Structure 1
Amino acid sequence: MNEVVGWLNDVLWSTPMIYFCLGVGLLFSILTRFLQVRHIKEMVLLMFKGKSSEAGVSSFQALSIALSGRVGTGNIAGTATAIAFGGPGAVFWMWMIAFIGASSAFIESTLAQIYKEKQDGLYRGGPAYYIEKGIGWKWYAVIFAFSALLSMSLLMPGIQANSIAVAVENAFNLNAYITASILIAIIGVIIFGGVKRIANVAQFVVPFMALAYILLSLIIIMVNIKELPAVISLIVSSAFGVDAAFGGIIGLAIAWGVKRGIYSNEAGQGTGPHAAAAANVSHPAKQGLVQSFSVYIDTLLVCSATAFMILFTNMYNTVDPNVEGGFIVNYLSEVPAGAGYTQAAIESVIPGFGAAFVAVALFFFAFTTIMAYYYIAETNIAYLARGSYRNISMFLLKIVLLLAVFFGAIREADLAWALGDVGLGLMVWLNLIAILILAKPALKTLKDYEEQKKQGLDPVFNPEKLGIKNADYWVNEYKPEDHK
């Protein structure tokens, strides 16, 4: 099993794939004239505009659902593993993929809004929908939907559950089986309540925990503020192979930074568009911009908080790929790569607090991520299963996901992460190709939004005027009064 999973990861996350991810983000940044810089103020303002409706959620709720998926173990354990295998320079490449990935997030989320549908009274959309409607490749849309369903219901929930179980056992010595049982009980109550309950939980829990986590990191930084120049220098020099210790692993720094960056911020992965499509907005670019900002919140704030805590306190190890069982630096003996680094970092400054705090943070971050995974899987079930088969498919999906969470919590961490990387790789490959093909409608939509804003208008979307076909919701069902 480990050999098969390892081979799949070697294929999906080969060197060409890493540079392909970077290249797509850079291309979209150029084509959108670096909207991630030009429209930062607009992104923040749009987060708090709009309202929910019977069919959709507000922009902030959609952002919260997307952040539920983005802010998870990738921010705590994922950042730590990037440093463990790619060195401090991996942090720079996480920042880079977040910066250029914000443009990819805009493209995919805008496309999700353009081609969304109203099914059973709810907005639904995502890569499967825009692939079928925008490109006309039904077969490719089905492949993506199956891949997303496999990843979100079986492969990736295990990472979140496993990280929770490991952190809780480390902090409270609680058996993994007990943690798994508590997890599935809480998640079951939420996901059986539908998308509105998911949105309501997410909009409260995610901002609260993210803010608490960032504030704690600021305390750690302030205590060690004199180390700031040295840490920044270490990150940058390691990223470009200049540092004496880490210069030999520049390739691993890029690879692990990009891989863990994408896992954390999900830009281009195809997960964010599902939540974006649920937003009740008058113009697709509005939610595209909001979702772009979610990438910044995830990586530039939360992931950076983890990285700084670990690097400021020297609570990490970095593996030497050229020496079996060797390390380039070994500051933490017998601590496996992951959340343990973050726990040790906080413990070094606030004794008796770090392990418990990280366990609680991971619990909230990861269980909201599992909620987001369920919503994404549900959306792809809605795409695949029409008519009378939909309800029973939705019920079976809930059971499968809860079982995946339970077994993920009790299995080996290495296998959980490896399976998650396979699921992520499948979705990224399929989605990046699709949004490259479909860039034109998204770019037209951005231009239309900017022109209406210059005229002092609150932008309203008219796909027929722009020559965008198959945007059926906007032509047949959109009502301006629903968005006032």
Structure 2
Amino acid sequence: MNEVISTISGLVWSPVLVYLCLGTGLYFSVRTRFMQLRGLGDMIRLMVQGRATSSGISSFQAMTMTLSVRVGTGNIAGVATAIAFGGPGAMFWMWVVAFLGASTACVESTLAQIYKEKDERGHYRGGPAYYIEKGTGWRWYAWLFAGVTVIAAGLLLPGVQANSIAAGLRNAWGVPSWATAALLSVSLAFIIFGGVKRIARFTQVVVPFMAIAYMLVAAVIMVLNAERLPDMFMLIVRSAFGLDAAFGAMIGVAVQWGVKRGIYSNEAGQGSGAHAAAAAEVSHPAKQGYVQAFSVYIDTLLVCSATAFVILSSGMYNVIAPDQTWIVQALPGVEVGPGFAQHAVEATLPGWGKGFIALALLFFAFTTLLAYYYMAETNMAYINRGSSRRWPLFALRLGVIGAVIYGTIKTTASAWELGDIGVGLMAWLNIVAIFILQKPALRALKDYEEQRRAGADPSFDPVRLGIAGASVWRRGDRAVEQAGQ
């Protein structure tokens, strides 16, 4: 079975997808005139604007929900895995993916806002399935994406997060897997049965606190290892282009693992961030596009970099060549994953490093589990539109909880490969969709910038821009009129 999973993962994550992700980011960077640089001030300003209403959540809540997806085990165990199999240079390609992917995240989140709709409770829903159907009319393709996402976010991806939490707690305090499974399943059930508003309230408190605490500890470790930092940065750059003697033959795998783990972590192009982006209450779709672009920076340039710097500056890392021979082995017997980061922090701050990383994983990965559930729920709601059936949603909740329980006991390798399959399939389908639907997004971004230059607080009129299918934005809709002011 493991061989079958590995084969499928290899097919999904062929070099074609790796370079498609990079090429998509570069393409939209050029088409948006590198909004990820020009719009940095707007990203920060818009992040704290707006307010929640009865229909939607605030921009900040939407961003923290998105960060719940982006900031998870990929920021700790994923970075360690990228370094193990791609060498230190993989981190450079994660940075490239983040920089280019910020424009992709902006486009897909703007589309999610344009084509969002209200569910039977009056709450905003949206994401790739919604903008595919409304923007292209291809309902079959929208259903395909929705079905893949329900399976990926509801069954395949939760296991990675649960597995990393279990490994971290086991390494730090010897917590048995069954106890971790019980803790996660009960806590998850309490929150997901409370709906999106409860998820948003939880993540807006936990995500910023844990991310700041994690980066502060990383900063302390870097200060303590300050003399190693120049060599560390040079090692990352040299390894990225095959210029380092030890890692010269690994340039191909450095790119592959950097892109794969970069997409897994920041998820730009996968379409996951678009689900939370659609739930926000804003006066113009591009506002949430800008905010979501900034969330990619927070995820990779800050949190992922913090993990890489901790591991590399301490020297506590293993690197495995493509032929499965060891190039560097500073941690004999340590399984690829959370243990890398735990031993790195422990080496610099003895006595509590393993415990801190275990707690970071617990909070990061648990909030990611909540976000995965919300993604799966949104796509289940899309599939179930117009129906009064409640059992599919109940079955989904039980399925997510079951996937979490199973994820705590299966092997790390199979957990990551299943997660990679889910991420890869979503990326394939979503990237094709945003290429087809780029015109409405680019029109909205241009309209936003023109209104900003005129000194106005931008508002959106799809009729004036010639964008069909954006029914929730029609003039006079009280739910969006002057929202976010």
* TM bin (shorter chain): over 0.9
- What secondary structure does 2:53 align onto? coil
Rounded Cα–Cα distance in structure 2 between residues aligned with 1:441 and 1:388: 30
- Per the alignment, residue 199 of structure 2 pairs with 198
Identify the residue that residue 213 of structure 2 maps to in structure 1.
Answer: 212
* Residues 76 and 342, structure 1, Cα contact 8 Å, conserved in 2: yes
Equivalent residue number for residue 55 of structure 1: 55
Q: What one-letter code is carried by the residue in structure 2 that aligns with 1:30?
A: V
Q: Which residue of structure 1 aligns with residue 390 of structure 2?
A: 391
Deviation of 1:388 (Å): 4.0
Native 8 Å contact 2:169 2:175 kept in 1: yes
**2:33 corresponds to which residue?**
33
1 CA distance for matches of 2:19 and 2:387?
44
What is the percentage of aligned positions where both structures have the same residue? 58
- Counterpart code for 1:372: A
Equivalence for 2:123: 122
Q: Pairwise mapping of residues 241-280 of structure 1 onto structure 2 (< 5 A)?
A: 241-280=242-281
Cα deviation digits, residues 30-71 of structure 1 (max 9, x gap): 000000000001100000000000110000000000000000
Q: Give the equivalent residue in structure 1 for 2:355.
A: 356
Report the secondary structure of 2:3's partner residue. helix
Counterparts of residues 299-318 of structure 1 (less than 5 Å): 299-318=300-319
Measured after TM superposition, the shift of residue 390 of structure 1 is 4.2
Describe the superposition over 1:350-396 as per-residue Cα deviations: whole angstroms up to 9, x where unpaired. Answer: 11111111111100000100000000001001100124444221111
Within 2, Cα distance between the matches of 1:383 and 1:58? 22
Deviations 1:378-437 (A, max 9, x none): 100110012444422111111110000001011111111110001111100000000011
1:332 alignment partner in structure 2: 331
User: Is the CA contact (8 Å cut-off) linking 1:76 and 1:339 kept in structure 2?
Assistant: yes
- For residues 274-309 of structure 1, what are the alpha-carbon distances to aligned partners after superposition, in whole Å with 9 as ceiling and x for unaligned? 000000000000000000000000000000000000
**Residues 16-36 of structure 1: CA deviation (Å, up to 9, x unaligned):** 111111000000000000000
Native 8 Å contact 1:381 1:390 kept in 2: no
Q: Quick check: 2:49–2:484 contact (8 Å CA) kept in 1?
A: no
| Structure 1 partner of 2:454 | 455
Separation of aligned partners in 1, 2:482 and 2:280:
15
Asked if the contact 2:282/2:484 (under 8 Å) is kept, the reply is yes
TM-score, normalised via structure 1 length? 0.98
Amino acid at match of 1:201: F
1:483, distance to aligned residue in structure 2 (A): 3.6
- Which aligned pairs between 1:359-378 and structure 2 lie closer than 5 A? 359-378=358-377
Cα offsets for 1:127-153 (capped at 9, x unmatched): 000000001110000000000000001
TM-score (structure 2 length as normaliser): 0.98
Deviations 1:284-338 (A, max 9, x none): 000000000000000000000000000000110100223x4x2111111111111
Name 1:232's counterpart in structure 2: 233
Equivalent residues, number:
482
> Which runs of 4 or more aligned residues in structure 1 lie more than 2 Å from their structure 2 counterparts after TM superposition?
386-391, 476-479, 481-484
Counterpart of 1:104? 104
Could you say which residue in structure 2 is the equivalent of 1:297? 298
**What's the counterpart of residue 189 of structure 1?**
190
Matches within 5 A, 1:125-204: 125-204=126-205
Amino acid corresponding to residue 204 of structure 1 in structure 2: V
Aligned runs of 1:392-407 on 2, under 5 Å? Answer: 392-407=391-406
**How far apart are the structure 2 equivalents of 1:28 and 1:314?**
37
Answer yes or no: is 1:5 the counterpart of 2:1: no
1:444 is paired with a residue whose SS is helix
Mapped contact 1:115–1:133 kept (Cα < 8 A): yes
- Deviation, 1:10, is 1.3
Secondary structure at the counterpart of residue 480 of structure 1: coil
Amino acid at match of 1:31: R
Instruction: Give 1:214's aligned amino acid.
Output: M
How far apart are 1:482 and its partner, in Å? Answer: 4.2
- Change in CA separation of 1:259 and 1:156 when aligned onto 2, cut-off 3 Å: same
Cα distance, 1:2 vs structure 2? 1.1
Q: Is the 1:382–1:390 Cα contact (8 Å) retained in structure 2?
A: no
* Closer/same/farther in 2, CA of residues 479 and 16 from structure 1, 3 Å limit: closer
- SS for the counterpart of 1:329 is strand
Secondary structure of 1:410's aligned partner: coil
Q: Secondary structure at the match of 2:111?
A: helix
> Distance between the aligned counterparts of 2:2 and 2:48, measured in 1?
45
CA distance in 2, matches of 1:35, 1:481: 25
Q: Distance in 2 between matches of 1:210 and 1:376?
A: 22
Instruction: State how 1:341-352 maps to structure 2 within 5 Å.
Output: 341-352=340-351
State the SS of the aligned residue for 2:76: helix
Return the letter of the residue paired with 1:280: E
Please state whether the residue corresponding to 2:327 is helix, strand or coil. strand
CA distance in 1, matches of 2:222, 2:110: 37
Task: Give the aligned residue type for 1:103.
Answer: S
Aligned residues of 2:109 and 2:292 also touching (Cα < 8 A): yes
Matches of residues 405-484 of structure 1 in structure 2 within 5 Å? 405-475=404-474, 477=477, 478-484=479-485
Unpaired segments of 5 or more residues in structure 1?
Answer: none
Secondary structure class of the residue paired with 2:54: coil
Question: How big is the alpha-carbon RMSD for the aligned residues of Structure 1 and Structure 2?
Answer: 0.9
